[in-house]
Amino acid sequence: MRSPTRSIIPTIFRELERVAIDPDILARYRLKLRYKVCYHLGSSCPDVDDVVQEALTRFLCAARDEKIRNPESTGAFLSGICNNVIQEYRRRLWKEPLSDSDSPPERPAAPEADLLEVRQIIGVVMPQLSQRDQDLLRAFFLEERDKEEICRSMGLSDAQFRVALFRAKERFRTSYHKSVKRTAPEKH
d(CA 116, CA 110): 10
d(CA 97, CA 158): 32
Q: What element of type H or E holds 116?
A: helix 112-125
Range 111-129 average pLDDT: 79
With 0-12 / 13-18 / 19 or more C-beta atoms within 10 angstroms meaning exposed / middle / buried, residue 128 is middle
Architecture field, domain 112-187: Orthogonal Bundle (1.10)
Q: What is the pLDDT of residue 102?
A: 54
Q: How confident is the model at residue 18 (pLDDT cuts 50, 70, 90)?
A: low
d(CA 35, CA 38): 5
Torsion from C-alpha of 68, 71, 74, 78, nearest 10 degrees: 0
Residue 21 predicted with pLDDT over 90: no
Q: What is the pLDDT of residue 98?
A: 61
Q: pLDDT tens digit string along 65-87?
A: 888 888 788 888 889 999 999 99
Q: What is the pLDDT of residue 42?
A: 85
Q: What is the pLDDT of residue 23?
A: 79
Domain spans in the chain, listed from the N-terminal domain onward: 4-95, 112-187
Q: pLDDT tens digit string along 40-49?
A: 888 888 888 9
Range 130-134 average pLDDT: 91
From residue 152, give the alpha-carbon distance in Å to each of 21, 60, 141, 145, 160: 72, 64, 17, 11, 12
- Tell me what the pLDDT averaged over the chain comes to: 80
Residues 6+ positions from 161 with CB-CB distance below 8 Å: 147, 150, 151, 154
Q: What element of type H or E holds 134?
A: helix 131-137
CATH code of the region 4-95: 1.10.1740
d(CA 186, CA 165): 32
With 0-12 / 13-18 / 19 or more C-beta atoms within 10 angstroms meaning exposed / middle / buried, residue 6 is exposed
Worst-scoring range by mean pLDDT, 37-46, 98-107, 172-181? Answer: 98-107
pLDDT above 70 coverage of the chain, percent: 76
Contact (Cβ atoms closer than 8 angstroms) between residue 86 and residue 51: yes
Residues 6+ positions from 84 with CB-CB distance below 8 Å: 58
Q: What is the pLDDT of residue 185?
A: 59
